[in-house]
Amino acid sequence: MLAITLLFVFVLAGFVGYFVITRVPPLLHTPLMSATNAISGISLVGSLVLAGSDRGDVATWLGFIAVTAATINVVGGFLITDRMLKMFRQRLPGGGDAAKEGGTKAIAGGNGGRPDAEAR
């Protein structure tokens, strides 16, 4: 009976997750990706606890697989998020990055990212 309940919860969570993710607008993808990475970090900690607990060989191997999968998920998620955020950085006329060279003034639009423009 417990296995059927757990399977039902798993399948229901899969359906809910699928329908929630498919309805996310592209504008919200980057913030949600960062939040998902934080949740994956929590699952990474849980899988480390499982892998480190001495509950038998099967639990240790499943914990190792969970640690590997969660680590790939966290690292890949942060790489994708960083790549997406780079698309929104303003470029300076000389080819530089406004976020690195101009500080918050160039990003906030104080001079439009142009070093020769006067502040408004």
One digit per residue, pLDDT tens: the chain, 120 residues?
888 999 999 999 999 988 888 888 877 776 777 777 778 888 889 889 888 888 889 988 988 999 999 899 888 888 887 887 787 777 767 666 665 655 554 444 555 555 555 544
Q: Is residue 35 part of a domain?
A: yes
Which residues form the domain of 96? 29-108
Classify residue 66: in a domain, yes or no.
Answer: yes
Looking at the 3D structure of the chain, how many domains does it have? 1
Give domain status of residue 52, yes or no: yes
CA 22 to centroid of chain Cα atoms? 17
Q: Do the domain assignments include residue 3?
A: no
Q: Assess if residue 75 is contained within a domain.
A: yes
| Residues contacting residue 30 through CB under 8 Å, at least 6 positions apart | 81, 84, 85
Q: At what angle do helices 57-86 and 29-52 cross, to 10 degrees?
A: 160
pTM for the full model? 0.53
